[in-house]
Amino acid sequence: MRPDNDVFLSVGSNLGDRLENCKRGILELTAYGTTFLTGQSPFYLTEPVDYPDQDWFVNAVIRIRTDLEPEALLRAARSVQEAAGRRRDRIRFGPRILDLDILLYGHRMIHRGDLVVPHPRMHERRFVLQPMCDIDPDVMHPVLKKSMQSLLETLGEGNQQVVVCP
């Protein structure tokens, strides 16, 4: 595997057994190709962002090593989401049984169709930055040229509550 294939993904759910949905999604995603889990944050209960009228999410971030190219990884993530029962979202940022988003794919910057890496809102999301810092706070955002820890600190205290799952 090439060194630029160190990939970070967010995992989330706020429907059904949220924690089990996330765990199963991680297991199924890491069964694709030569994809290996190399890091995982704790699971967090997180306040919804952008569409607050819904249940809190369970979220985590994982780091994988993979031979899958970005588009193939996106297809694999969507397949895992669909297998979990996710259907086309009726409400943007609304409830979902499983959400798998590619946050970083090595140091690559990708903007092809519906694949945008780094994730365009990751630097605004405590539910992404906190778990990323649990894995590696020194990872650099390839566009903003700031570490995840620095990005987390610039969020300050706000309404994005993130609590470690009991």
Catalytic residues: 86, 96, 99, 101
Cα separation, 164 vs 60, in Å, equals 10
State the alpha helices, DSSP H only, in the chain.
Answer: 18-29, 70-83, 126-135, 148-155
What phi and psi values does residue 9 have, to the nearest 5 degrees?
A: -130, 145
CA dist list (Å): 39 to 31, 58, 115, 147: 15, 17, 23, 17
Cα separation, 73 vs 105, in Å, equals 10
Cβ neighbours, 10 Å, residue 91: 11
